[in-house]
Structure 1
Amino acid sequence: MNVSLKQWRAFLAVAQTQSFAEAASLVHMSQPALSIAMKNLEAELGGQLFARSTRAVALTPEGAELLPQVQRLLADWDNVMADAHQRFSLKRGRLAIAAMPSFASTALPAVLQAFRSRFSEISITVQEVIAEQLLEQVQEGRIELGVSFDPGNQPDVAFTPLFSDHFVAVFPAGHALAQAGTGPLDWAQLCSYPFVGLQRPSSLRALIDRHLSAQALSLNVVLEANQLATVGRMVATGLGVSAVPKLCEPQMHELGLSCRALVAPDIERQVGVLTHGRRPLSKAASAMIDELKRHYAER
């Protein structure tokens, strides 16, 4: 059946005005064009919708039964169009973001505040997941974007860098390392103390081990955990020292820990946005990436 929305709108106009002349004006058609459109519609449907006379136009019984259905059809269509317009103009929509906990609890709130000042109607859900799980969620399409460390070459993943992060040593405020000054520490100095580390196969743990091995260094790991926040709490209770990305420094200070930059080697890793490499992004996701870029461009 070849019936257009324009024909249904014309039908509704004629039904409501009971006049081809008035209806033609409402739908911006000439009266002859409107008459042809209604005849074509009736031909497609297989029967008359209007009883026409020289003085009046009235709906046939079949036309009267069809009228409320057409009204609902056009209302639903208008709602679909309005909803799509609002989503594309970022006046409506939802966005799910995954972020590693160290980013979600430190830098992300300021980014979200700036984003919502521009797009207050977008509903946002934040999931805090470790880097390995975040990568999996992006690859499987369960989230549109995530913020994490550079995962390297991974199938179906695009990485947009935001900033470089380095490592800092963390230890209790009264520790010997705190009394030795505030300048950078060599990793070799950290290796002489009991160390609380991330569990393998953590990508951060692998990164540290690889760089230290190249310097013939190894950590004295006495405890392991799978969350940096847990590592920090263990250090705060005096179970050892550790090394965490500088991004975590505010969390460590909240636990009463001291931090010093680590050098020799200076281990760094890019932090950025992970998206699916073969799937288009929503307007909301694209706007969030722009906000993240803006945030770090201004720093």
Structure 2
Amino acid sequence: MNITLRQLRAFIAVAELGQFNLAANSLHLTQSAVSILIRDLEEEIGARLFDRHTRMVCLTLVGQEFLPQARKILKDLELAVGDVRDNASLKRGQVTIAAAIVLAATIVPPIIARFLRMYPEISVNIRDMPEEAITPALKRNEVDIAVGTLSEDDTEISATPLLRDKLMLICREDHHFAKRRSVSWAELKDENLIVLAATNPLRNLVEHNLIRVVPNFRPKYEVRFSTTAISMISAGMGVGVLPENSSQLASAVQVKTIDLVDPLVMRDVSLLQRRQHSLSPAADRLRAAFVAWAADRAGFSSRD
């Protein structure tokens, strides 16, 4: 079946106005063009839609049954096009962003809050999750974009750098490292080390550097969340190696953040998305907000 929108508009106009010439004027077409559109529509449907009289036309029974359906088709199309235009103009839209637990509690909320002040009609859903859950969520199309650490190249995921922060030693305030300005990786060999899960990208960074100076490295505890590790450190159960921005979550507990050196290890925080996958206008604008935040932050740091 090859029914066109022009045919439907012509059919509705003739049905409502009762004359081909009036319908033609309303559609800015010639009367013969409207006649051809109606004829072609009747041929596609396989039934007459109008009974023609000398000056007037009236709907056949088939035409009476078809008219509300034709109106609904056009109305649904107008609503669909309106929705697309509203989304494109950011008058409405929805974005789902994933973020690693610590990042979701530190850098992400202020950026989204500023974004929503600019685009209040857009709904932003935040899914905080472990680092290792972010890439699978992107690949399953459960989230539009994400903020996290990509531990290795992935042909399905693109990464736009947002910031770099260093790995730091976290210990309790009364720990023998607490008054030091820095601690080397090698000095961790006799400590009860609390590490993140083996699937977490940060774990790879920690193990890579520890094994070089402590070949027989074995963690004392393994947890899934940085917040759990910080609480355990506060309870005196050991020390941990976490990103620098984790210290923002440690202010309420009795722990210290100390530079970890020899070597100084950095990790990249990136804006992640699926490769060769177009973002919605709302998601693309939120992505741009994060990239702009990173650029502003880099510019501020260069002036310090």
Q: Please confirm whether the aligned pair reaches a TM-score higher than 0.5, indicating the same fold.
A: yes
Report the Cα distance in structure 2 between the residues aligned to 1:297 and 1:11, rounded to whole angstroms.
56
Q: How does 1:34-183 map to 2 (within 5 A)?
A: 34-180=34-180, 183=181
CA contact (8 A) 2:139 2:274 kept: yes
Q: Partners of 1:159 and 1:200 in 2: how far apart? A: 22
Aligned position for 2:26: 26
Contact 1:172 1:235 in 2 (8 A): yes
Deviation of the 1:2 alpha carbon: 2.4
Per-residue displacement from partner, 1:227-256 (whole Å, max 9, x unpaired)?
A: 111000001112122221012111012334
Map of 1:197 onto structure 2: 195
Task: Mark the runs of 5 or more structure 1 residues left unpaired by the alignment.
Answer: none
Q: CA RMSD for the aligned pairs?
A: 2.2
Structure 2 distance, partners of 1:248, 1:18, is: 73
Counterpart CA distance in 1 for 2:285 and 2:215 is: 44
Q: Contact 1:196 / 1:231 at 8 angstroms: preserved in 2?
A: yes
- Structure 2 residues not aligned, in runs of 5+: 298-304
C-alpha contact 1:51 1:57 (8 A) present in aligned 2:
yes
Cα distance in 2 for partners of 1:9, 1:82 equals 18
Matched, 1:206 2:204: yes
Q: Structure 1 pair 254/142, CA: closer, same or farther in 2 (3 Å)?
A: same
**1:191 CA drift (Å):** 4.4
Equivalent residues of 1:184, 1:261 under 8 A apart: yes
Q: Which amino acid aligns with 1:69?
A: Q
Contact 1:188 1:217 in 2 (8 A): no
Whole-angstrom distance in 1 between the partners of 2:97 and 2:258: 31
Aligned length: 297
**TM-superposed deviation, 1:43:** 2.8
TM-score by length of 2: 0.88
TM-score, scaled to structure 1: 0.90
Q: CA deviation at 1:268?
A: 0.7
Once the two structures are TM-superposed, the CA of residue 117 in structure 1 deviates from its matched residue by 2.2
Q: Structure 1 20/271 Cα, relative in aligned 2: closer, same or farther at 3 Å? A: same
In percent, how many aligned pairs have the same letter? 30
Query: Residues of 2 paired with 1:109 and 1:291: CA distance?
Result: 12
User: 1:212, 1:218 within 8 Å by CA — same for their partners in 2?
Assistant: no
Superposed displacement of residue 8, structure 1:
0.5
SS in 2 for 1:165: strand
